[in-house]
Chain A
Amino acid sequence: MNGRFAVRGILLGLVVVWGARPIAGRAFANVAVGEVVEDAELRTIDGGRASLLAKGAKADVVVFFRPQQEHSTDALRELAACQRELAGKPVHWVGVVSSSWAPAEVRAVVTETGIRMPVLVDEGDALYGRFGVRLHPTVGVLDESRRLAAYEPFRQINYCERVKARIRLVLGELDEAAVAKLDSPERSITRTDEGVARRHLNYARMLLRIQKLDRALAEVEKVLAVAPTAAGYALQGEILAAQGKCPEAIRAFDAALKIDPASSVAVDGRKSCGR
């Protein structure tokens, strides 16, 4: 019994470790995904001091940005939305700006975008150099053990989705498969063959309702030619029955029952034809 629990525990541990693996790929020039990041205490734009990383946080989100840059403003706005969606979770957000920017200018962009985080002033771009930050804006997501789990430079499309997914991966709320799915959304087409078949079937049903039986039958036959479904045959049976053609209707109901023995429309239809 204990052995079974032990095996389960090991398997669960493997799953947890697998789920918490960093997403491989892009990284800062000097800090690779999976590497541990050292903490640093820096001056903030408000004149205080704050740490880059927070004790007790399950995820640290470090945002490198700058004022006077459209992408930074857009990114902060997107991240503010992300922040609201992740409110209440153990996530620590911190911004880092070069000391070459005036604090008032940095404060203005932070206020404008609504993001809530301390902003550290990077004297002489030392932290930028240590990380190897080549792009603005860029986000680093660190896990509980302060390993870089994800590196996300700004993108125009689905940025909040991507960053949020990586934070949730670190928090253990998503697994890699779910993140991969979010990263590669399904194509958003409207018209599919299956959808068009459904439309014709529904239309046939509408025509049956207003007693346009010949047209209804023609519609349903179009559907059956491309998608021979139980629902299609059952509707064909209903139309034929309404036309008083019970032998043909029963053949249609039987075809429906062959595909779906539980088709209540077909069962009831057979009964209405005296079978």
Chain B
Amino acid sequence: MDKRLPILAAALAAISLGLGAQRADAAPMKTEVKKQALRRGADVAPLPKDKALHSHAPFEGGDCGVCHQNNDPKNPGPIRHASVNEQCFECHDDVRDVMARKYKHVPAAEACTDCHNPHNSVETALLASEMVDMCTRCHAGIKQQVTTAKVRHDAVTTGKKCSNCHNPHAANVEKLLIALPFDLCVNCHAKDGMTTDDGRLMTNFKKWLDENKVWHDPVKAKDCSACHRTHGGENFRLLVAPYPEKFYAPYDRKLYALCYGCHNDKVVSEAETTTLTGFRDGSRNLHYVHVNRERGRTCRACHEVHASKQDHHIRDGVPYGPKGWMLKVGFTKLPNGGSCAKTCHDTKTYNNKTLTSAAAK
């Protein structure tokens, strides 16, 4: 047996100490949840001037007649148009173009005043109340995620809040996203030195993806939300489903719910196969050999989940020792399979083109 294996194992186990146990809840993967009945009509009455921080120009100027039938602050009468939105579009006709997009927010299509106070407000954009509070009055499930999530996402509650990612009027992308998820996520996750709430350094994804050109399918598909719950969640790194935090973990199908959201779990559960994976020696399933055991290697032991330099998302190295020194993974792709040179074990070659194992040759 390679003498390095127990040392590596001990070091990696030590690194993993202190990390919390993984919850294996089978919560839905998608973030969209039941909405409550739509609120209709925010309070449109003007706030006392000393309380308001932002005013609509016509109201501020006392020009009631811009919107109302009478230009008299004491008796403005009804608005001039039968439809609230037509009234607003008289000036805000650029928003009419916005509302022509494919995916429309129902309250915006029905009445601007569902969310905006047309007179004044303490909020920017004349929102009738604080944005997260207002959005989550209808999107109650998101509220639950935002407020009670074990792992939170700052993007929801800082800066432009919900509208960091969503256009609350209308959009060209489903879920009223301003752009495809990847283009939104990498917009922020493109800095060195960002840290998680518990102080762990986060990856600069722009740099990482520029340097590693073999991208995992969801990354290629610009679908970060395939794996990450963007409003907040129960799993580390905002993962949509359980995944082992540690380098080694006893094999339990439930712990890999994240991966099995797309991948076939039989890749790991079947000891013998000639169809499920190319990582087999003859019919001996090498995923099963590595993962399906008491002290199984987790997917990330060999695979880089976002992007890698090698085929099959094989990572360059595995972290070793307290300083995380990278021990090179010596994978080589061969015409009939591949080989892994001295890393965790002596060089081993596999053959996936016949039913005969490479070792038997």
Write out the residue numbers on chain B whose beta carbons fall within 8 Å of the beta carbon of A44: none
CB distance from A122 to the nearest CB of B (A): 9
Please, which residues of chain B bring their CB within 8 A of the CB of A157? 173-175, 177, 180-181, 222-223, 225
A207 adjacent to B63 (CB under 8 Å) = yes
A178 at the A/B interface (Cβ < 8 Å)? no
Q: Which of B244-291 contact A (CB under 8 A)?
A: 260-264, 266-267, 273-278
By a CB distance below 8 angstroms, the chain A residues around B97 are 195
The answer to whether A134 and B174 touch across the interface, beta carbons within 8 angstroms, is: no
Check A264 for interface membership: any CB of B closer than 8 A.
no
Could you say which residues of chain B place their CB within 8 Å of the CB of A134?
263-264, 267, 277
- How many angstroms from the CA of A203 to the CA of B67 in the assembled complex? 10
Once A26-B217, A71-B261, A153-B262 are accepted as A-B contacts, the answer to whether A158 and B174 lie under 8 Å apart by CB is: yes
The chain B residue with its CB closest to the CB of A125 is B275
Asked if B58 is an interface residue, CB under 8 A from chain A, the answer is: yes
Distance of A157 from chain B, by nearest CB (Å): 5
Residue from the list B171, B176, B276 in contact with A128, Cβ < 8 A: B276
List chain A residues, Cβ under 8 A from B226: 154-156
Complex contacts, A25 vs chain B, CB 8 Å:
220
Partner of A29, one of B29, B175, B180, B278: B278
Nearest chain B CB to A109 CB, angstrom units: 15
Cβ contact of A202, chosen from B63, B71, B90, cutoff 8 A: B90
Report how far A126 CA is from B273 CA in the complex, Å: 11
A207, B30: Cα distance in complex, Å: 48
Write out the residue numbers on chain A whose beta carbons fall within 8 Å of the beta carbon of B66. Answer: 203, 206-207, 210
* CB < 8 Å neighbour of B93 from A70, A71, A198: A198
Count residues of A near B (Cβ-Cβ below 8 Å): 49
**Residues of A127-147 whose CB lies within 8 A of B:** 128-130, 132-136
Of A82-90, A165-173, A185-193, A229-237, which binds chain B?
A185-193
Asked if A198 and B94 sit within 8 Å, CB to CB, the answer is: yes
Contact A212 B61 (CB under 8 A): yes
B275 near A129: Cβ-Cβ < 8 Å? yes
Cβ contacts under 8 Å, A66 to chain B: 264
Size class of the contact patch on chain B: 35 or more
Q: A185-B179, A187-B178, A188-B170 are in contact. Are A154 and B61 (CB under 8 A)?
A: no
* Residue numbers in B under 8 Å from A124 (CB-CB): 275
Bound Cα distance from A262 to B324, whole angstroms: 72
Q: Does A69 contact B (CB under 8 A)?
A: yes
Do residues A202 and B91 form an inter-chain contact, with CB atoms below 8 A?
yes
Cβ contact within 8 Å between A100 and B266 = yes
Q: Which residues of A contact B180 (CB under 8 A)?
A: 157-158, 184-185
Q: Which listed residue (B29, B91, B95, B170) contacts A203, Cβ 8 A?
A: B91
Check if B322 is an interface residue, CB within 8 A of chain A: no
Measured CB to CB, the closest approach of chain B to A68, in angstroms, equals 10
Q: Which of A71, A161, A186 contacts B262 (CB 8 A)?
A: A71
Cα A184 to Cα B183 in complex, Å, equals 10
- Tell me, rounded to whole Å, the shortest Cβ–Cβ distance linking B50 to chain A: 24
B101 at the interface (CB under 8 A from A): yes
In the complex, whether B199 has a CB less than 8 A from a CB of chain A is no
Interface set, chain A 225-267, CB cutoff 8 A to B = none
Residues of B within 8 A of A187 (CB): 172, 178-179, 183
A212 touching B266, Cβ below 8 Å: no
CB <8 Å contact, B63 and A210: yes
**Across the two chains, which residue of chain A brings its CB closest to B218?**
A155
Tell me which residues across on chain A come within 8 A of B274, comparing CB atoms.
129
Indicate if the CB atoms of B177 and A70 lie closer than 8 Å.
Answer: no
Question: Which residues of B51-81 are within 8 A (CB) of A?
Answer: 57-58, 61, 63, 65-66, 71
A190 proximity list for chain B (CB < 8 A): 94-95, 98, 167, 169
A129 proximity list for chain B (CB < 8 A): 274-276
In B210-242, the 8 Å CB interface with A consists of 217-218, 220-223, 225-226
The verdict on B335 contacting chain A, using a C-beta distance below 8 Å, is no
- A8 on the B face (CB < 8 A): no
A176 at the interface (CB under 8 A from B): no
Taking the complex as formed, is B28 at the interface, i.e. its CB lies under 8 A from any CB of chain A? yes
CA distance A145 to B170 in the complex (A): 40
Contact of B91 among A132, A136, A188, A199 (CB under 8 A): A199
- Whether B261 contacts A126 by the Cβ 8 Å rule is no
7 nearest A-B pairs in the assembled complex, by CB-CB distance: A129-B275, A195-B94, A188-B171, A185-B172, A155-B223, A210-B65, A202-B91
Q: Pull 7 A–B residue pairs with CB atoms less than 8 Å apart, ordered by A.
A: A29-B278, A70-B29, A125-B273, A157-B222, A188-B176, A192-B94, A199-B93
B-side residues, CB < 8 A to A, are 28-30, 57-58, 61, 63, 65-66, 71, 90-95, 97-98, 101, 167, 169-181, 183, 217-218, 220-223, 225-226, 260-264, 266-267, 273-278
Residues in chain A within 8 A of chain B (CB atoms): 25-26, 29, 66, 69-71, 74, 98, 100, 124-126, 128-130, 132-136, 153-158, 161, 184-190, 192, 194-196, 198-199, 202-203, 206-207, 209-210, 212, 215
